[in-house]
Amino acid sequence: MTRTPEDTTLEQRTTAPATAAAGPSRRRLGPAAVWQTVGPLAVFVALFALVSALNPAFLGGGLRILALQATTILLVALGQAMVLHVGSIDLSNAAMAILSAIVLAMTLGPLAAAAPLVCIALMTAVGAVNGALVAYAQVPSFALTLGTLGILQAAALVVSDATTVYVTANREVLAPLFGTAMVGLPAGFWVAVVLAVLLWVLLRSTRLGQALTAVGLNETGALFSGLRTRRLKVLAFALSGFLAGVAGVMIIAQAGAASSFGLGSDLLLPGIAAAIVGGTAITGGVTNPIGVVFGALTVALIPIAAAAVGVTPQAQSLVYGAAIMVAVALTMTRRNRGVVK
């Protein structure tokens, strides 16, 4: 997340037109570049193979459960990846997902099909406010979103009156998301995957996406190249809010109820871990949303794998922590080498 002047000058030399950086690096694929692309997939496949070998029954319905659990992690992780992509961090997006779920649970009855749209729009606006504060007041995103996290948690408690809010009517509006399956996996998971592919296209093939990459790789250079860096940062945070809003919809579609301490209340750290395990550089500019899909699947698989190899429930978080560190050490993008903070 840190760029020293040293790094900046180095990149100014090597990737002067930062927007063109993707081109040459794609043509000469060294072992590191190959690993950067397939690493998240390889780690997931290895872990999945391990679980399947130890517990063959898992191959039956396991993948479906895994996709179910990975959906919200994936959405939050994609938002996190977009913010990490411009070199910032968003500690508030999981709290946004919960708030979105609580608001949705309360409005789904009266507003029916419009309610999810309202919630997603609301969270997009909250994300944009985060981004505007980071970009225009020039405060560190880590501290700012820590503050927003506190405010959103309080908002969730006040709105829900610190209890569980149940959907009273119109639950069938969201039923198709996890009631129907495509290729054996819930439709909601595919929605998240489609969003990941769209983000991949955005980053790879559009001028806007390349501009975001430029901000992440070298913000000063991007600024001097005439990019509207502040608006781009607002966009990244708004995307994070948008995806958190969608994650909230998924929580309601899965559980039919929401509370500040129930399903989805601990998404922040898995979300960050999934983004990093998916190959996102914490320093910015290197993000592969498709990799994040496998990052989210890996992070969701770790507890299942731990149970499959016979780890007691008490030791689960121990294994989780150790596995996150190993997975990150294996898949972390080390392109922006130099100082690691």
Partner 1 sequence: MTETENPVHPQATATRPAGRPGEGATYRRLELKSLGELAALVVLVAVFTALNPGSFATAVNLQTILDQAAIPLIVGVGATLVILMGSIDLSVEGVMGAAGMTFVLLSANSRDTVDLGLWAIPVALAVGVALGLLSGLVHTRLKVPSFIATLGVWFVGLGTATVLFGEAAIPFLAEGSLQSWPSGRTLGLPNSFVLAAVVVLLGVAVGRFTRLGRHAYAIGDDEEIARDNGVRVDRYKLLVFLVAGGCSALAGVLASLQLGAGSATVGIGTLFLTIAAVVIGGTSLGGGKGGILRTALGVLLLTVLNNGLILSGVSPNIQSGVSGAVLILAIVAAAWPHRSRLRIVK
- What residues line the site for partner 1 (CB under 8 A)? 1-6, 8-9, 87-89, 133-134, 137-144, 146-155, 157-158, 162, 219-220, 223, 269, 272-273, 276, 282, 284, 312, 314-322, 324-325, 328-329, 332, 334, 338-341
**10 vs 111 by CB, closer to partner 1:** 10
What is the smallest separation between the CB atom of 152 and partner 1, expressed in angstroms? 8
Rounded to an integer, what distance in angstroms lies between the CA atom of residue 130 and that of residue 79? Answer: 13
| CB 285 within 8 Å of CB 81 | no
**5 vs 184 by CB, closer to partner 1:** 5
| CB 85 within 8 Å of CB 77 | no
DSSP notation for 317-337: HHHHHHHHHHHHHHH---SS-
**154 vs 201 by CB, closer to partner 1:** 154
**150 vs 179 by CB, closer to partner 1:** 150
What is the smallest separation between the CB atom of 332 and partner 1, expressed in angstroms? 7
What is the smallest separation between the CB atom of 183 and partner 1, expressed in angstroms? 33
Return all residues near 164 (Cβ < 8 A) that are at least 6 apart.
257, 258, 259, 262
**112 vs 340 by CB, closer to partner 1:** 340
What is the smallest separation between the CB atom of 68 and partner 1, expressed in angstroms? 22
| CB 71 within 8 Å of CB 250 | yes
What is the smallest separation between the CB atom of 252 and partner 1, expressed in angstroms? 21
| CB 85 within 8 Å of CB 212 | yes
> Quick one: which of 180, 167, 174, 192 has its CA closest to 113?
174
